[in-house]
């Protein structure tokens, strides 16, 4: 952690410590909602909002909160932001709120958020915590975008609801069902590791 400059602090979330492909955090909701790109975007934004706000706040109060009650405090902070995001979606984007179903309230227990609060924000300055959270959010959104694009294209033949594959294409229904989520995620993680290995070898 020490010696990282701000830029590295940001980019580690994109690749080296990507929450989905490297840290394998928040898998449950990632698998469940990546069946359509629009859901992936909405979930990505909701998680980003919660992650950035709670990282900021956790970092702000890190010297005030006694160690013994830190987890309880973080949970309350995270839960408040999740409820705000949930109500906001229900009020202004009802169809998305419906599609994401229980997975928005479940962001409370998403390990990415509590993980970053505990492992990073509670030990670093507000600025670094913010940069870390933005990087992690970006990494999460990118991973969700890749995952949900693959699943929507193969599973429904569409992307964001627009048909991209012709009528000749018989959608692979399994891709929008749970097995498709596991298969795609598995391949994605394997690919990420493979690329990482190749990069290391070249060095």
Interface positions with another protein (CB under 8 A): 35, 61, 64-66, 68-69, 72-73, 76-77, 79-80, 83-84, 87-88, 90-92, 94, 98, 101, 155, 171, 173, 176-177
Contacts for 61 with CB less than 8 Å, ≥ 6 apart: 73
Nearer to another protein, 163 or 197 (CB): 163
Least distance (Å) from another protein to the CB of residue 84? 5
Nearer to another protein, 121 or 131 (CB): 121
Least Cα distance to 60 among 109, 152, 128, 136 occurs for 128
Nearer to another protein, 25 or 108 (CB): 108
Least distance (Å) from another protein to the CB of residue 177? 6
CA–CA dist 126, 124 (Å, integer): 7
Q: Dihedrals φ, ψ of 49, to 5°?
A: -55, -50
CA–CA dist 152, 38 (Å, integer): 10
Nearer to another protein, 15 or 88 (CB): 88
């Amino acid at each position: 952690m020490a010696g990282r400059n701000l830029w590295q602090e940001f980019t580690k979330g994109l690749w080296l410590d990507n929450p989905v492909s490297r840290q394998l955090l928040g898998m449950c909701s990632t698998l469940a909602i990546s069946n359509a790109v629009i859901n992936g975007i909405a979930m990505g934004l909701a998680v980003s909002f919660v992650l950035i706000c709670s990282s900021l706040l956790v970092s702000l109060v890190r010297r005030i909160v006694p160690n013994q009650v830190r987890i309880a405090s973080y949970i309350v902070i995270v839960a408040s932001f999740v409820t705000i995001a949930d109500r906001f979606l229900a009020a202004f984007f009802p169809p998305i709120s419906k599609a994401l179903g229980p997975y928005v309230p479940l962001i409370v227990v998403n390990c990415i958020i509590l993980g970053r609060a505990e492992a990073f924000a509670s030990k670093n300055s507000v600025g670094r915590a913010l940069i870390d959270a933005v990087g992690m959010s970006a990494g999460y959104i990118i991973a969700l975008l890749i995952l949900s694009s693959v699943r929507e294209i193969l599973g429904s033949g569409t992307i964001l609801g627009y048909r991209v594959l012709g009528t000749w294409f018989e959608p692979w229904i399994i891709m929008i069902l749970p097995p498709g989520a596991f298969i795609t995620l598995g391949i994605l993680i394997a690919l990420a590791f493979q690329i990482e290995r190749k990069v290391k070898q070249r060095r």
